[in-house]
C-alpha cells in the first residue's frame, strides 16, 4: 500500500474534520471507520436527538397556537414518524460528509483498526496501512450502572432511546446532565410520565446555579418529576416492569416504570485496537495528550471524547484541526477549554460559555454579575417565549467577560457572539456598546452587559427581582 501522511482511526466529528484539514494542508490521508462516517454524534447523538427535539418543540408550539389566533384542531403526535424523519436527516448529513471526504481526496477504509506500531495500522485483521502519523478519534460509549445492565429493551442508553417507535407510558431517567434533560423534555412532550433523577443538588450540575434552578422550576411546571440529591440503589426488571429503588435526603423511594434511560456519562473507547501495544499513556480511562494533541508516543495523536472532557462534538472538531495542523508542521494555537461553548436543547434551551459565577469567585476574581430577563425583550414577547434570562459574569477590575449563561428560546444560537467576545477578550462595555438589530432576541446580551453597570434600559430590576422570586 502507499504510505500515508496520516491515518485516522474513527470517522466522527474529530476524525473526519481532522481528515479534511489534513488533506487541505497537502497530506495524503486515510480515514478508517468500522461503521459509518459521522460517528456517534451524527448517527446516534447530536443530529437525530436535535431533530426529535424539534418535533417536541412543534408539539408545544401547536398546543398554544390559539394564543396567536391560529387554531390547530386534531393535533396528533407520532413518535415513530418523528424517528423516521430523524433517520432521514441523519442519512442526508452522513452523505454530505462522505461527499466532502471524497472531494478532498481522502481514502475511506471500512473495518476495525489495530495499531501494530506508531507507523503501521492493521485494518480488518489483514490489510496493513503504513503511515507517518496516526490520529486516534475512537470516541466514547454510554456507561452503565452496576445493577442496571443495559438490555436495549427496558434499560436503555441514548442510542436505543433514539430509535423508540412509541413513547413509554412512564420512564425514569438516571442522570440530570444534558442527555438526561433533553430526553426528559422530549418524552414529556410526547406525553410520557417522566421522572428525572440526579445525585447532585441540581440538574445540569456543570452550569451556573441560577440557570439550573430556573430549569428545575420550568421542568416542574411542565409536569416532569425531579429528584435531585437522589441516588440509584437497585433495579429489578421482572415481567416487563422496572422496579427502581432510590435513596436520598427524603429517605428511600421505590417506584415502577415502563423503561429506564441511563444518562450517567460515557466511557472512552480505548480497548481493543493496540494502545497498550505501543505504550500510549492513559489517565482516568482517557488518552493523555499535550496541547498539540500528541500522545507520549511521537507521531501518535488523539482527539475527541477519547481524550476526555469536555465531551462535545465541536470540541472534537477543534481538536482535530489542531492535530492535523501539528502533523503538517504548523504551530496551531492551543485550545482554551474554558472558552468552549455549551448548548443544551431542552425547552427552554440552555447555552453557556466561560466561568460560572461560583467558578470565577473560586479563582479569585473580583466578580460582578448581572441578569437580564427575556420579559424585557420585545422579540421574546412577540414570540410568546419570554421565560428565561441572560447572565453575564465579569471581572470588576478589568471588565473582561468571564462567562455568559443563558436559558430561554434559541439561546443556543446566541452564544456564538459571546464566544467571539471571549476569544477577543472583549469587555462588558464592548458588548454593551455594540448596536443590535431590533427587535431580536440577541438584545438580551446587550442588556445583560448594560446591567453589569446598572445601565440596562428596558427593564425595572426591582420589579424583575420580585417576579423572578415569585416564579
Active-site residue set: 438
In the structure grid, which three cell numbers stand for residue 203, read together?
A: 440538574
Q: Confirm if 260 and 245 have CB atoms less than 8 A apart.
A: no
- Do 196 and 203 touch, CB atoms closer than 8 A? yes
Find residue 267's DSSP bridge partners.
Answer: 141
**Residue ranges of E strands in 137-217:** 140-142, 155-156, 170-174, 193-197
- Count Cβ atoms within 10 A of the Cβ of residue 200 and give its class: 0-12 exposed, 13-18 middle, 19 or more buried: middle
Neighbours of 71 (CB within 10 A): 8
Beta strands 225-227; 286-287: pairing state: unpaired
- Find the length of the chain: 471
| Residue in 366, 50, 369 with CA at minimum distance from that of residue 208 | 369
Identify which of 176, 27, 184 has the alpha carbon closest to the alpha carbon of residue 104: 27
- Give the separation between CA 271 and CA 277, rounded to whole angstroms: 11
Pairing of strands 120-123, 107-110: unpaired
Amino acid at each position: 500500500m502507499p504510505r500515508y501522511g496520516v491515518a485516522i482511526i474513527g470517522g466522527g466529528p474529530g476524525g473526519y474534520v481532522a481528515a479534511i484539514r489534513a488533506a487541505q494542508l497537502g497530506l495524503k490521508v486515510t480515514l478508517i471507520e468500522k461503521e459509518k462516517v459521522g460517528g456517534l454524534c451524527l448517527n446516534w447523538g447530536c443530529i437525530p436527538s436535535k431533530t426529535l427535539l424539534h418535533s417536541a418543540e412543534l408539539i408545544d408550539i401547536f398546543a398554544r397556537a390559539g394564543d396567536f389566533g391560529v387554531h390547530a384542531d386534531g393535533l396528533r403526535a407520532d413518535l415513530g414518524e418523528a424517528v423516521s424523519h430523524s433517520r432521514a436527516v441523519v442519512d442526508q448529513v452522513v452523505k454530505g460528509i462522505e461527499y466532502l471526504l471524497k472531494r478532498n481526496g481522502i481514502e475511506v477504509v471500512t473495518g476495525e483498526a489495530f495499531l501494530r506500531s506508531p507507523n503501521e495500522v492493521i485494518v480488518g485483521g489483514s490489510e496493513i496501512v503504513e503511515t507517518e502519523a496516526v490520529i486516534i478519534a475512537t470516541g466514547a460509549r454510554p456507561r452503565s450502572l452496576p445493577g442496571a445492565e443495559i438490555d436495549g429493551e427496558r434499560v436503555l442508553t441514548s442510542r436505543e432511546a433514539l430509535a423508540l417507535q412509541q413513547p413509554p407510558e412512564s420512564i425514569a431517567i438516571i442522570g440530570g446532565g444534558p442527555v438526561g434533560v433533553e430526553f426528559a423534555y422530549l418524552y414529556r412532550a410526547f406525553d410520557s410520565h417522566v421522572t428525572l433523577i440526579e445525585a447532585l443538588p441540581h440538574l445540569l450540575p456543570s452550569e451556573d446555579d441560577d440557570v439550573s434552578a430556573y430549569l428545575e422550576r420550568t421542568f416542574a411546571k411542565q409536569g416532569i418529576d425531579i429528584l435531585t440529591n437522589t441516588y440509584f440503589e437497585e433495579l429489578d426488571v421482572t415481567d416487563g416492569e422496572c422496579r427502581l429503588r432510590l435513596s436520598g435526603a427524603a429517605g428511600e423511594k421505590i417506584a415502577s416504570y415502563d423503561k429506564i434511560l441511563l444518562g450517567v456519562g460515557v466511557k472512552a473507547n480505548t480497548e481493543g485496537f493496540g494502545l497498550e501495544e505501543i505504550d500510549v499513556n492513559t489517565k482516568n480511562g482517557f488518552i493523555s495528550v499535550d496541547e498539540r494533541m500528541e500522545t507520549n508516543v511521537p507521531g501518535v495523536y488523539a482527539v475527541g471524547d477519547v481524550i476526555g472532557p469536555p465531551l462535545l462534538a465541536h470540541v472534537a472538531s477543534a481538536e482535530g484541526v489542531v492535530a492535523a495542523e501539528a502533523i503538517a508542521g504548523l504551530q496551531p494555537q492551543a485550545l482554551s477549554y474554558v472558552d468552549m461553548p455549551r448548548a443544551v436543547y431542552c425547552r427552554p434551551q440552555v447555552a453557556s460559555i466561560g466561568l460560572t459565577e461560583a467558578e470565577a469567585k473560586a479563582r479569585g476574581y473580583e466578580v460582578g454579575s448581572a441578569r437580564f430577563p427575556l420579559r424585557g425583550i420585545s422579540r421574546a414577547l412577540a414570540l410568546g417565549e419570554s421565560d428565561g434570562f441572560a447572565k453575564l459574569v465579569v471581572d470588576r477590575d478589568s471588565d473582561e467577560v468571564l462567562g455568559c449563561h443563558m436559558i430561554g428560546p434559541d439561546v443556543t444560537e446566541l452564544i456564538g457572539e459571546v464566544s467571539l467576545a471571549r476569544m477577543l477578550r472583549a469587555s462588558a462595555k464592548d458588548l454593551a456598546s455594540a448596536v443590535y438589530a431590533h427587535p431580536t432576541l440577541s438584545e438580551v446580551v446587550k442588556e445583560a452587559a448594560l446591567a453589569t453597570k446598572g445601565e440596562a434600559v428596558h427593564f425595572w430590576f426591582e420589579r424583575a427581582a420580585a417576579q423572578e422570586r415569585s416564579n
